[in-house]
Amino acid sequence: MLKIKLNIYVFLFIWVSLLSCKKDNQDFTYAKINELQINADSVLSINQFDTLKINPQILQSKPGAGKFTYQWKIYPDQIVAGFTPMIISTDESLNAVISVPPLLGGYHLEYKVTSTDNGVAAFKMFTVNVTSVFSDGWVISSSKDGNAELSFVRSDYRVFYTPAMSVNQTVYSGHAIGTYVYPISDGTQLGIGFFTDKGNYRFSANDFLQTGTSVTSFTPAKDKFTFSLSKFKTEEYVINDGSLYAASIFDGPLNVTYTERLSGDYYFFPKVITSTLFNTYFYDNKNKRFMSVAFGGFYITPAFGSSSTAFNMGNTDMLMVGAMDGPQTSSSGVYYFVMENSNGERYLYSLSGAQPGLNQKILNSPEIESAHSFASSLLLRQMYYATDNKIYQYDILANSSTLIYTFPAGTSIKQIEVQPDNGKTLVVAANAGSTGQVYFFNLDNLGNISNNTYSQMIDGFGEIANIAYRKRN
Amino acid sequence: MKYLLILFLLVFTLGCKKSDIPTYHGQDGISFYTKYFSDPDSINYSFALQPTNKLRDTVLIPMRLVGKTSTDPRRIKLRAADSSTARANIDYILNEIDLPANQTSVNYPLIVLNSPEMKTKTLKLILEVDPGSELVAGAPGVAVDYSENLQQMTVNITSQLIKPNYWDNIEFVYGPFSVTRFQFMIRVTGLLNFDPNVIGSSEIFRLQVMLRNAIAAYELANGPLIDEFGNQVKF
């Protein structure tokens, strides 16, 4: 009996043990899923507020086998504060107004097709470059009938007269002093500053919508004014009638109030020299020296000079009469300066970063002593200078100049610029009495004016105060 | 053999018994706390820094739950530690409040009273959770976000100008705190609060230029401005 019981126990134990060793036959049922292939162009470009239509071709491995849901989600390529991904459609085909602003780097548009049967999703990524109607071109500040105006000439020469007035339904009274294009939102977008003798305004460069104001304790002075951001993009500087004013824009204020005059014994030439990332330079025509303001503090200090460099930044013994932007990078830049000694002789200086480069007396150059507007070639060792109605090309290596264009008498050249993006267009703003024109000259490979005349002339502006290039986002 | 087998099967069976995971249960508490890089472990309050003359004001002191939330409100009672120099119902009032249902934090409204002694003194109120509070004193310690629970919170109350809590954030622009410096800043700018979180981080630089120009004008007329520590005030 005892043995039987023992056998039963042993049997039960072995049976339980064997059961735990039972092999799972892993008998799953497999079914091939319906695989999707989405065909459509991947890189798209569209103007802001235009309708984007995409009819993707969806190929199924098992045609007609399933039902799907759809989602179109758009988000920036770079992180932009305050922007969260947006679902712009849940339809199979996209037919949506793209209202997101133009941004550097553009957007990703994610198309997601999800099977309602098994939840498996297929994705297609698009790159969408949103451009503005005012994508790239020249902003023109001018005055007409007692009002300050802001106009825009797009790179395809389409003209928008006073878009800021139209968009904002506002008349900006007073006389235009200047307009400037500057980076905002970490450089992903651009803003336009507009200074007049009756008020100062800030606009989005995408649509000319007024975004704020600039408050100054002074009245901007005609032809003695300039504005620029530091290279690090955290400070704004304004020079007005020789005095420097600043504003920190660390927290991206919509309205910017400038400081009082930064103290010091100086009278600055109206040029902000952002040749280095953390030091912004200025030129003091009173004491004939460069000065600088460092990042993070609004102190003006004399630039460290050395007599062993091309020129002594701490003591040039020259007046600055002109300044030009050379090639620029995000952290440094080259600048050219036209200097004048006590005998009225003019010199060409250059500064690369914080390093003096060129110091050359300008020879064989007609009317250089009365030239008032200058532009450096961005491609060649050349400079352009303008008198009242003549434009000369100065060859730095040959140290001589040639006349390349003469406007009719009565035309007064206000500003000349080489288009920063390509270096192949010379842009001239000129006034004839109270009306302004902008001329575009194509430059050939030698820096000469193609066909000896302008390629485009656009008029209809009031008296032009200045022009500024608005690059593409 | 039989007993061995029975014992074996018994252990075998017991081994399959699901056991509960033991957890610690304690009384829920409430604690003062500071955020990393943000709040100080003491609060300075001055009636002199208020935009209008006040006889009493409310200072909000952040507290948070140490324990589980409840669907019912729970009472919080604070008391002044013995080392406090501020006097109950003369310099301050401590009211009992509730931690609202399902909440994990609350701002305790400390009422401060503008007593005559504050014109010449800074009175110290060291707050702690009263042992009779329904939510007891929470355990001190540092959380994963580097915020720290404190058993006590010190509130310095005065009607004199004292160093504001935010001064450490502006010292690199305006220099070390002194009453003389602070008074000059208030007089020149017309502001009582220079907290970058209030006026904006960009604004502190604009005001710096204003103050620098003002001190230059002051020095021209009066000579250097020397503060109570014997240091020249500069911006």
The confidence score (pLDDT) of residue A277 equals 95
The confidence score (pLDDT) of residue A42 equals 86
- Within 8 A of A256 by CB-CB distance, chain B residues are 202
Q: Which residue of A has its CA nearest to B9?
A: A13
Confidence class for position B5, pLDDT limits 50, 70, 90: low
DSSP readout, A20-88? Answer: HTPPP---PPP-----EEEE--SEEEEETTSEEEE--EEEESSTT---EEEEEEEEESS--TT---EEE
The confidence score (pLDDT) of residue A119 equals 86
Distance CA(A443)–CA(B16), nearest Å, equals: 89
The confidence score (pLDDT) of residue A473 equals 78
Cβ within 8 Å, pair B9-A247: no
Cβ within 8 Å, pair B2-A263: no
Q: Which of B13, B172, B202 to mutate to test the interface with A (most CBs of A within 10 A)?
A: B202
Smallest Cβ–Cβ distance between B206 and the set A2, A13, A247 belongs to A247
Q: Which residue of B has its CA nearest to A235?
A: B202
Chain A segment 3-42 residues within 8 A of B by beta carbon are 5-6, 9-10, 13
Q: What percent of chain B has pLDDT over 90?
A: 73
Q: Residue A470 pLDDT more than 90?
A: yes
ipTM above 0.90, yes or no: no
Domains of chain B (ranges plus CATH)? 29-158 (2.60.40.1740), 167-222 (no CATH)
Q: Residue A400 pLDDT more than 70?
A: yes
Lowest mean pLDDT among A298-307, A440-449, B144-153: B144-153
The confidence score (pLDDT) of residue B35 equals 81
Confidence class for position A435, pLDDT limits 50, 70, 90: very high
Q: Residue A431 pLDDT more than 60?
A: yes
Smallest Cβ–Cβ distance between A259 and the set B2, B201, B210 belongs to B210
Does B11 contact A at CB distance below 8 Å? no
Q: Which residue of A has its CA nearest to B174?
A: A297
A468 contacts A134 by C-beta, under 8 angstroms: no
- Within 8 A of A260 by CB-CB distance, chain B residues are 209-210, 213
Does A263 contact B at CB distance below 8 Å? yes
Neighbours of A18 (CB within 10 A): 9
Q: What percent of chain A has pLDDT over 90?
A: 74
Neighbours of B73 (CB within 10 A): 15
pLDDT tens digits along B46-81: 998 887 889 999 999 999 999 999 999 999 999 999
Q: Residue B19 pLDDT more than 60?
A: no
pLDDT tens digits along A39-84: 888 888 888 878 999 999 888 888 877 789 999 999 998 887 777 8
Confidence class for position A268, pLDDT limits 50, 70, 90: very high
Confidence class for position B101, pLDDT limits 50, 70, 90: very high
DSSP code of residue A254: S
Distance CA(A145)–CA(A308), nearest Å, equals: 54
DSSP code of residue A296: T
Strand ranges, E, within A132-257: 137-144, 147-154, 159-160, 172-173, 176-184, 189-196, 200-204, 210-215, 225-229, 235-240, 243-248, 256-257
The confidence score (pLDDT) of residue B124 equals 96
Element (H, E) at B173: helix B167-174
The confidence score (pLDDT) of residue B4 equals 63
The confidence score (pLDDT) of residue A321 equals 98
Smallest Cβ–Cβ distance between A6 and the set B1, B9, B216 belongs to B1
Q: Which residue of B has its CA nearest to A252?
A: B202
Cβ within 8 Å, pair B2-A261: no
Average pLDDT over all residues of chain B: 90
A383 contacts A377 by C-beta, under 8 angstroms: yes
Q: Which residue of A has its CA nearest to B204?
A: A248
CB pairs under 8 A between A and B: 52
The confidence score (pLDDT) of residue B9 equals 62
Q: What are the tokens at B227?
A: 């503060």
Confidence class for position A25, pLDDT limits 50, 70, 90: low
Distance CA(A353)–CA(A375), nearest Å, equals: 19
Smallest Cβ–Cβ distance between A247 and the set B202, B212, B216 belongs to B202
Smallest Cβ–Cβ distance between B201 and the set A10, A250, A256 belongs to A250
Does A260 contact B at CB distance below 8 Å? yes
Smallest Cβ–Cβ distance between B213 and the set A250, A257, A263 belongs to A263
pLDDT tens digits along A180-211: 999 986 777 899 999 999 999 999 999 999 99
Q: Which of B199, B205, B213 to mutate to test the interface with A (most CBs of A within 10 A)?
A: B205
Cβ within 8 Å, pair B209-A259: yes
Chain B segment 193-222 residues within 8 A of A by beta carbon are 200-206, 208-210, 212-213, 216
**Amino acid, res. B137:** A
The confidence score (pLDDT) of residue B13 equals 62
Q: What are the tokens at B28?
A: 């829920």
Q: Residue B20 pLDDT more than 70?
A: no
